[in-house]
Amino acid sequence: EKEFAKYIGVKYAIATSSCTGSMHIALSALDIKKGDEVIVPDITWVSTANAVMLVGATPIFADVDLNTWTLDPNSVESLISDRTKAIMPVHLYGHPAEMDKIMSLAKKYNLKIIEDCAEAHGVEYKGKKVGSIGDIGAFSFFANKTITCGEGGMVVTNSTELAEKAKRLKNLSY
């Protein structure tokens, strides 16, 4: 955990059983719940939307950029409603999402950012590793990923509060 946090450039990394588990923990740590909406890209692995539904929230599907297949920030703003609580960009196939524009929208509308980094170990966006840009990130170590141990995941964050919540949620000690 310490080495991975250092590698990503964050203060905290919490090992989990899977990236789906990491996303579920991340959403729960951010208090995303029933009635909330989370904007996700319309091309990704099913776990991104499933994690949103696991906390009772509704995934809202945004278009992707035709060149990178990552979340298109131009598609996001029109989908934001009073129920939107977060944006969940997916750094897909080693391509980072356009984080400057996504972070700008998050700031403008007071939204949280959960980075799905399952397929983006070591990927940088403007000199920063993905997972270190938003509020919290999730990585996968499944057998087909860049860094693998057969299974497993990691939650990463710079927030002491979110790291402590993630540790409690991981151990089911709410």
User: Rounded to whole angstroms, what are the CA distances from 20 to 4, 82, 116, 142?
Assistant: 18, 26, 9, 11
Is residue 108 annotated as part of the catalytic site, yes or no? no
- Options 112, 129, 145, 165, the catalytic residue: 145
Residue 33 CB partners (closer than 8 Å, separation 6+): 55, 56, 57
Do β-strands 112-116 and 136-140 pair in parallel, antiparallel, or remain unpaired? parallel
DSSP character for 123?
-
State the catalytic residues.
145
